[in-house]
Amino acid sequence: KTIEELDFRTHYSSVILSISRDGERFVPKKDTVIQENDMILVAGQKEDLEKWVEEKKE
C-alpha cells in the first residue's frame, strides 16, 4: 500500500517521517509504497503506534 492508502494520520494519529531502504534514508511521498525490510521512522503517541503493531501481527 502507498503512504496515502495507509492513511496513518487518520487511523493512528501518527505520521511517517522517513523510510530507510537499502542503506538510503528518504522522506516518503504520498505515493511511496512501504516495502518488506523497510525501516520507518514514525512520530505518534505510544498507544497509537502499539495499536498499529498489533494490527500488523494479525
Average pLDDT over residues 2-13: 91
Query: Hey, what's the cell of 56?
Result: 500488523
All three cell numbers of 5: 492508502
This prediction has a pTM of: 0.81
pLDDT of 36 > 80? The answer is yes
Residue 56 pLDDT grade (very low, low, confident, very high; cuts 50, 70, 90): confident
Contact between residue 18 and residue 40 where contact means Cβ atoms under 8 Å apart = yes
For 21-30, the pLDDT digits (tens) are 999 999 999 9
Distances (CA, A) of 24 to 9, 16, 30, 51: 24, 16, 18, 28
Ranges of each domain in the chain: 3-57
Q: Give the cell for residue 57.
A: 501481527
Three cell numbers, residue 19: 523510510
Cell numbers found for residue 9: 494520520
Q: Which CATH architecture has domain 3-57?
A: 2-Layer Sandwich (3.30)
Q: Looking at residues 18-22, what average pLDDT do you find?
A: 98
pLDDT score of 8: 87
